[in-house]
């Protein structure tokens, strides 16, 4: 069967949100569901593996009752991922104060795009692939952000589904007359059990990072240290019992696949079960690994910059924050593959 793109209305949805979702079907029984009104969040991804339909993305049971969009699916974090200490920073001599929406009102978290409706600008399908492209335009879609960020910003993401693969192709554009600082991150919540037949098979994790940022209250101190054997995830480790909320770095980045991507991390069900690999362009040099205690999920989050990047920049540390000149453009890809 050929791939398809359809639009559907959710039967239940939070008040004030457009219930239309875009459903990509891979022609082999798998599908991805993208919700433009919820920050273009991928709230569902299924893929067929050895005749089994795997449910790979976790959806908060309270999502349709209005739980935060950062607790389900694949929140897209832009123009900054994770936290900014105190919600305040300076850029090019100008002070900025962000809403304190994280850590009980002590930090700003996860940018603007994940909480705002996006506009669908293109869809298409063929024999092997279905896609949808959506756009978030900062100062247009959220006028109040013109006082919160140094420059206007456009983020276009094309989500491409093939059998066994879901890719997110991002393009950042600077439509402003000022330089645009930004970071891009993804916060996928992968389900802890992908199929009933796998519930007795241990879920394991691997992340090839060699170092970690020291954290205090989820914010980096500025110290980067090699991972000791007890904390390293370079070899497979059983997920049950792990309590992780770490900012890792030092990804090798040298072993590129045919798409030019390298591994950021992977999950697998042991004893011959399937493996889910997170891949990205080498510009994603930081990975947050998170095991939510109250959700049956595991997060492997590729970031182009570290948590609290503007403050790391001010201290001369390798923050990874990117800058675009006026009319400049940036592209990067992140993908999930099931084998």
**Predicted confidence band of residue 39 (pLDDT cuts 50, 70, 90):** very high
Q: Residue 230's pLDDT is what? A: 87
Q: How confident is the model at residue 1 (pLDDT cuts 50, 70, 90)?
A: confident
Q: What is the DSSP string of 43-96?
A: EEEEEEETTEEEE-B---TTGGGT--GGGSS--EEBSS-SEEETTEEEETTEEE
Spatial separation of the C-alpha atoms in residues 224 and 247, rounded to whole Å: 10
Q: Domains of the chain, with CATH numbers?
A: 4-338 (2.70.98.10)
What tens digit of pLDDT does each residue of 157-180 get?
Answer: 999 999 999 999 999 999 999 999
**What pLDDT digit, counting tens, does each position of 281-312 carry?**
999 999 999 999 877 999 999 999 999 999 99
Cα–Cα distance, 284 to 179 (Å, whole number): 21
pLDDT tens per residue, range 66-119? 999 999 999 999 999 999 999 999 999 999 999 999 999 999 999 999 999 999
171: left (phi over 0), alpha (psi -120 to 50) or beta: beta
Q: How many angstroms separate the CA atoms of 153 and 113, rounded?
A: 10
- Calculate the dihedral angle through the C-alpha atoms of 211, 217, 222, 224, rounding to the nearest 10 degrees: -10
The number of angstroms, rounded, from the C-alpha of 316 to the middle of its chain's C-alpha atoms is: 26
pLDDT value of position 89:
96
Distance CA 224, CA 149 (A): 27
pLDDT tens by residue, 6-29: 999 999 999 999 999 999 999 999
Query: Which of 32, 27, 29 lies closest to 51, judged by CA?
Result: 29
pLDDT of residue 255: 84
Q: Which single residue is written with the structure tokens 């691997």?
A: 206
Distance CA 5, CA 132 (A): 8
Q: Band of the pLDDT at 222, cuts 50, 70, 90?
A: very high
Token pair of 313 as six digits: 């920049």
* Degrees, nearest 5: CA angle 139-18-161: 85
- Please count the residues of the chain: 339
| Mean pLDDT of the region 120-136 | 98
pLDDT tens readout for residues 193-215: 999 999 889 999 999 999 999 99
- Distance from the first to the final alpha carbon of the chain: 21
- What is the pLDDT, as a whole number, of residue 232? 96
pLDDT in tens, 40-50: 999 999 999 99
User: In sequence order, what are the residues at sequence separation of 6 or more whose Cβ sits closer than 8 angstroms to the Cβ of residue 11?
Assistant: none
pLDDT in tens, 232-283: 999 999 999 899 999 999 998 778 999 999 999 999 999 889 999 999 999 9
Residue 202: DSSP 8-state: P
d(C-alpha 83, C-alpha 146), whole Å: 19
Confidence of residue 121 (pLDDT cuts 50, 70, 90): very high
Q: Tell me, what's the pLDDT at 199?
A: 87
């Amino acid at each position: 069967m050929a791939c398809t793109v359809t639009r559907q209305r959710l039967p239940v949805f939070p008040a004030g949100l457009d219930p239309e979702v875009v459903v990509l079907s891979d022609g082999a029984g798998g599908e991805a569901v993208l919700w433009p009104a919820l920050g273009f969040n991928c709230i569902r991804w299924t893929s067929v593996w050895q005749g089994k339909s795997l449910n790979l993305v976790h959806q908060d049971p309270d999502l349709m009752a209005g739980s935060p969009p950062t607790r389900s699916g694949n929140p897209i974090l832009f123009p900054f991922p994770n936290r900014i200490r105190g919600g305040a920073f300076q850029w090019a001599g100008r002070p900025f104060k962000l809403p304190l929406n994280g850590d009980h009102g002590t930090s700003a978290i996860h940018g603007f795009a994940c909480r705002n409706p996006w506009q669908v600008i293109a869809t298409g399908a063929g024999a092997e692939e279905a896609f949808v492209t959506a756009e978030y335009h900062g100062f247009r879609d959220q006028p109040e952000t013109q006082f919160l960020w140094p420059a206007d910003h456009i983020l276009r993401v094309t989500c491409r589904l093939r059998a066994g693969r879901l890719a997110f192709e991002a393009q950042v554009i600077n439509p402003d007359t000022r330089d645009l600082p930004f970071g891009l991150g993804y916060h996928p919540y992968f389900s802890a059990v992908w199929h009933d037949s796998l519930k007795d098979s241990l879920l394991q994790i691997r992340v090839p990072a060699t170092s970690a940022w020291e954290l205090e209250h989820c914010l980096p101190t500025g110290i980067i240290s090699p991972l000791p054997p007890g904390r390293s995830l370079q070899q497979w480790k059983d997920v049950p019992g792990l309590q992780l909320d770490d900012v890792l770095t030092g990804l090798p980045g040298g072993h590129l696949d045919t798409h030019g991507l390298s591994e950021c991390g992977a999950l697998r069900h042991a004893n011959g079960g399937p493996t889910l690999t997170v891949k990205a362009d080498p510009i994603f040099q930081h990975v947050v690994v998170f095991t939510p205690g109250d959700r049956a999920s595991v997060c492997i989050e590729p970031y182009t910059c570290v948590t609290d990047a503007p403050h790391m920049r001010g201290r001369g540390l390798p923050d990874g924050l990117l800058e675009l000149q006026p009319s400049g453009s940036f592209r990067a890809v992140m993908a999930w593959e099931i084998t």
